[in-house]
Amino acid sequence: MPTFLFDSIVFGPVHSRRLGVSLGINLLPVNSKLCSFNCIYCECGWTTCRAASLTRLPSRSEVGDALRKKLADMKEHGKQPDVITYAGNGEPTLHPDFSGIIDDSIALRNEYFPAAKISVLSNGSNLRRKSVREALKKVDMNILKLDSAFPETVRRLNQPQGKYDPESLIRNVRDFEGRFIIQSLFVRGEYQGEIIDNATSAEVDAWLAVIERLKPQSVMIYTIERDTPLGNNLKKVSVHELRAIAARVNALGISASVSG
């Protein structure tokens, strides 16, 4: 099935199921995906590049100039973003100037749209870097991926490119003192002869145990919406099931939202 790449530094604004009117920022190449994961459900397709040093990334000044131009245009036309979101063609924290870019973005946000939030969608694999953790502390919505508590499921579903497991995420979020959001995608299907289903009772029970340990601000629960690299081999998890999972999160005293 066809997937897509973002073809510019700044894109949108688009209406996000979870974030509202979102102005997107892509710190990664426009012609390939750069990520430390290779998730089988990713709307950007398969990871084709794994090291930032192997490809050209937009410079800090290019990102700042593009964001300023877009925010000025939106201001002139009376268009208010709810959030400025760092996502794009892979893992945004892989950019070597990620920390400085976040500082620039906060300054520009404060100048043009002080009410807008800044969010970062990250898989959490780069939290071992102190500069990344310090930058994420500054944003309004530090959104981290956790699709399963089981390393084997993570291996099949997210296909990390280096050393990563759910326990590493638990260790590294301590710096945030609860100021982070967990985002989890539930899906089922088949890949390379293996059954994929992170919505089974065993999966959800183990995932909930990790959520209880992490104690995030909130949890975003969703399933696939767009085309994936595996096409029809992956299926949505029903909204009914997602809401049942969310109810169990709510029972822990943690707010959960559902996008089906």
Q: Which amino acid is at 97?
A: D
- Is the bond preceding 13 in cis, omega lying within 30 degrees of 0? yes
Q: What are phi and psi of 258, to 5 degrees?
A: -125, 135
State how beta strands 181-185 and 218-222 pair: parallel
Residue 211: alpha-carbon gap to chain centroid: 17
CB 145 within 8 A of CB 136: no
Going by pLDDT thresholds of 50, 70 and 90, the confidence category of residue 122 is: very high
**pTM of this prediction exceeds 0.85:** yes
Read off the amino acid at residue 15. Answer: H
Give the homologous superfamily in CATH for domain 10-259. Aldolase class I (3.20.20.70)
- pLDDT per position as a tens digit, 16-67: 766 788 999 999 988 888 999 999 999 888 887 665 555 789 999 999 999 9
Is 9 within 8 Å of 71 (Cβ atoms)?
Answer: no
CA 30 – CA 32 distance, rounded (Å)? 6
Reading the block at residue 183, the tokens are 């985002």
Residue type, 115: A
CA distance 248 to 110: 37
Q: Integer distance in angstroms from the first to the last C-alpha of the chain?
A: 20
70-86 average pLDDT score: 95
Decide: 148 and 154 in contact? Cβ < 8 Å: yes
CA-to-CA dists, residue 119 to 12, 24, 111, 136, angstroms: 15, 10, 17, 9
Give pLDDT tens digits for 176-234.
Answer: 999 999 999 999 999 999 999 999 999 999 999 999 999 999 999 999 988 888 888 89
